[in-house]
Amino acid sequence: MSRARADDTKKVPGAPSSPELPFTTRFESIGAWVPEQRLATADLMAQVKMRFGLDFEGVTGIRERRVCADGEDSYTLAVAAAEECLSYSSYAAGDLEMLICCSISKFKDGLSTVYEPPLSLFVKDALGATKALTFDVGNACAGMLTGVFILDSFIRRGVVKCGMVVSGEYITSLATNAIPHVETALSTQLASLTLGDCGAAAIMERAKPGRAGLQTASFMTLSRWNDLCIGGPCAHAPGGEMDTNGRKIHRVAIKALPPILEKALRECGLDYGDIDYFIPHQTSMQGIESGDRRFSKYFGAHPRNLVVNLEEYGNTASTSHFLAMYVWLKEQRFKPGERILLIALASGVVIGVVTFTMDELAFRYGHENPVD
């Protein structure tokens, strides 16, 4: 299939597919924020008393991750990421018409969980987004892409013109609480050791008529496998804990995903080989490479680039796609007209597919250190 670009005479990918949805959505700006404090995998694993040796860094590809210090939590990370996003935006906080908070962790003032009022309201007040409708969404590691799906629908239907999707993930308490329980490579808490803290935000807006933008945003939940990853409050320490059947959830996801992805791409007139940048959920290098081989065999094609930032940041849960995009935007790796595929694989089991065409957003970011 030939690649239709924005100046082609054929239908522009991302243009409205039906008269009921007359508008197109685009990413107007993206921001991310990580704590300064770093924790090396070698130092983390030195605390784990395993019966048998495991090259955890070699298997996961994670050299280090960022962890919150005193005074940092889900709320502060979300606010910092939102402010960073606004610094690259043509909008002020007061212009936002909707703000969706999508984090798994809802910690404020340390490890105190916020339920009511929701975290989104605290973020709104901190930013001064006075006219924004706010609510929280929880969908595990697919949270931010779920927020994109929801805000895209509001924009395409003409309900709002612009809004923000934001998340602050203070999740390294899961790793801290897992340390005493991980004894073998089959431990159900082993996956908790991959996690890192991060905040991320994206402003979405109504695109100008005829311009490319989001092409598809679709999700499916395979609820039969809902018990493969379960998180909740920790009974013996502050924060949370998570039990995961990592191998099985990976097998289920990569087996189910290709036909779902194929359908999503077909609906917007794309083939897998048309994708310039594939950004998967940042779980482990072994898992990402296994999935990439499976998809390439299924489709008989391969995206031009595979985006991975695990080495420095680990698995930052719902923020992982936008942290990866932010880093590559700052490094000026994207060019207008390139097609980008975001894949969510989350507990539930949730599979999400978002595709969009890069536009002038690529020019807003310069050659700077991505995150300090």
**Rg, Å, the chain Cα set:** 20
18 CB burial (10 A radius; 0-12, 13-18, 19+): exposed
| Residue recorded with tokens 């296994």 | 290
Considering the domain boundaries, does residue 369 fall inside one? no
Distance of alpha carbon 355 from alpha carbon 338, whole angstroms = 11
Tokens of 370: 């991505």
Domain count, the chain: 1
* Cross-strand partners of 79: none
Domain that holds residue 180: 25-364
Considering the domain boundaries, does residue 218 fall inside one? yes
Considering the domain boundaries, does residue 371 fall inside one? no
Do 241 and 234 touch, CB atoms closer than 8 A?
yes
Distance of alpha carbon 249 from alpha carbon 80, whole angstroms = 32
75 CB burial (10 A radius; 0-12, 13-18, 19+): buried
User: What CATH number did the domain enclosing 255 receive?
Assistant: 3.40.47.10
Considering the domain boundaries, does residue 80 fall inside one? yes
Tell me the whole-structure pTM to 2 decimals: 0.89
Do 268 and 355 touch, CB atoms closer than 8 A?
yes
Residue 96: what residue type?
Answer: L
* Cross-strand partners of 169: 198
Distance of alpha carbon 190 from alpha carbon 284, whole angstroms = 12
- Tens of pLDDT along the chain (372 residues) come to 333 333 333 343 444 344 456 789 999 999 999 999 999 999 999 999 887 778 899 999 999 999 999 999 999 999 999 999 999 999 999 999 999 999 999 999 988 888 889 999 999 999 999 999 999 999 999 999 999 999 999 999 999 999 999 999 999 999 999 999 998 888 889 999 999 999 999 999 999 887 878 988 888 888 888 888 888 888 888 888 998 888 888 888 888 889 999 999 998 889 999 999 999 999 889 889 988 899 999 999 999 999 999 999 999 999 999 999 999 999 999 999 999 999 998 888 899 999 999 999 999 897 555 555
Considering the domain boundaries, does residue 220 fall inside one? yes
Residue 196: what residue type?
Answer: G
* Cross-strand partners of 25: 206
Considering the domain boundaries, does residue 110 fall inside one? yes
Considering the domain boundaries, does residue 173 fall inside one? yes
Q: Which of 239, 216, 122 is nearest to 170 (CA)?
A: 239
Confidence at residue 247, expressed as pLDDT on a 0 to 100 scale = 84
Considering the domain boundaries, does residue 9 fall inside one? no
